Amino acid sequence: MLIIANWKCNPVSVSKAKELLKVKEGENNVEVIICPPYLYLPMVVEGIKNRNIKVGAQNCFWENKGAYTGEVSPLMLSNMGCDYVIVGHSERRSYLNEDSKILNKKIKKALSNNLKVIFCVGESQKERNNGETLKVIKKQIDKGLKGVKNENICIAYEPIWAIGSGSSCLVKDAEKVLDFIKEKRDVKVLYGGSINEDNALSYIESKFNGLLIGGASLNPEKFNKIIKQAKD
């Protein structure tokens, strides 16, 4: 079971970021992964040294180096000590206009630099209301993972309407999407969207292979409660 912290664009200082490192380690079948903003990666890599915690980035570019102002490459991330990278989070798809073509390039470059990819998919409220959930997921996977093998890929199902909303998707509904994804791809499937210390257990006990956690990962006490439930 993967328990992944996605800090998003938080917290606002290194000292506050250090506070968030008071998290339990993974053990047995539980892997704990922290995905901080780029700026805090060196501090996090140093801070978790000799602990059973892995580090991931929240994004990467599709080239390894060159004249690409403002970008951070998969090779840099890998050299920095990252094991994972999140690609295709809905916030990047919507605020940064990242489309499937861009995501596909990023995924391929990340994999070729030995990063494991956490590829996010999910439908909007409108798409859900129109009964288009599986159609949307299919398209995101077919285009985003075009020409990509299953190795080192996890797919995170994150219904956009559930992210940061305080109400997660019902496990039985999310499992329908999981079944659909697993039919297409033999990969780990994670759930993300308003997971907290109270609802995490139902997902830990479900068919999902892990959780991608935003808000609750910014509170070590809450995040540790989730890790503990996964271990027990």
* Catalytic entry in 91, 123, 158, 197: 158
CB of 225 to ligand PGA, least distance (A): 14
Q: Is 110 in the site for ligand PGA (CB under 6 A)?
A: no
Q: Which is nearer to ligand PGA, 103 or 163 (CB)?
A: 163
* Catalytic entry in 89, 123, 175, 197: 89
Number of residues engaging ligand PGA in binding (CB under 6 A): 12
Piece of 45-53, 70-78, 96-104, 189-197 that binds ligand PGA (CB under 6 A): 189-197
From residue 191 to residue 220, what is the string marking binding to ligand PGA with x (rule CB under 6 A)? -xxxx----------------xxxx-----
Nearest CA to 5 out of 196, 231, 199, 223 is that of 223
Mark whether 158 is an active-site residue.
yes
Residues 29-58 that bind ligand PGA (CB under 6 A): none
CB of 162 to ligand PGA, least distance (A): 7
Residues 119-158 that bind ligand PGA (CB under 6 A): 158
Mark whether 91 is an active-site residue.
no
Q: Show the 3-state SS of the chain.
A: CEEEEECCCCCCCHHHHHHCCCCCCCECCEEEEEECCHHHHHHHHHHCCCCCEEEEECCCCCCCCCCCCCCCCHHHHHHHCCCEEEECCHHHHHHCCCCHHHHHHHHHHHHHCCCEEEEEECCCHHHHHCCCHHHHHHHHHHHHCCCCCCCCEEEEECCCCCCCCCCCCCHHHHHHHHHHHHHHCCCEEEEECCCCCCCHHHHHCCCCCEEEECHHHHCHHHHHHHHHHHHC
CB of 146 to ligand PGA, least distance (A): 23
Q: Is 6 in the site for ligand PGA (CB under 6 A)?
A: yes
Residues 156-175 that bind ligand PGA (CB under 6 A): 158, 163-164
Asked if residues 76 and 114 have their Cβ atoms less than 8 Å apart, the reply is no
Given the rule CB under 6 A, which residues bind ligand PGA? 6, 158, 163-164, 192-195, 212-215
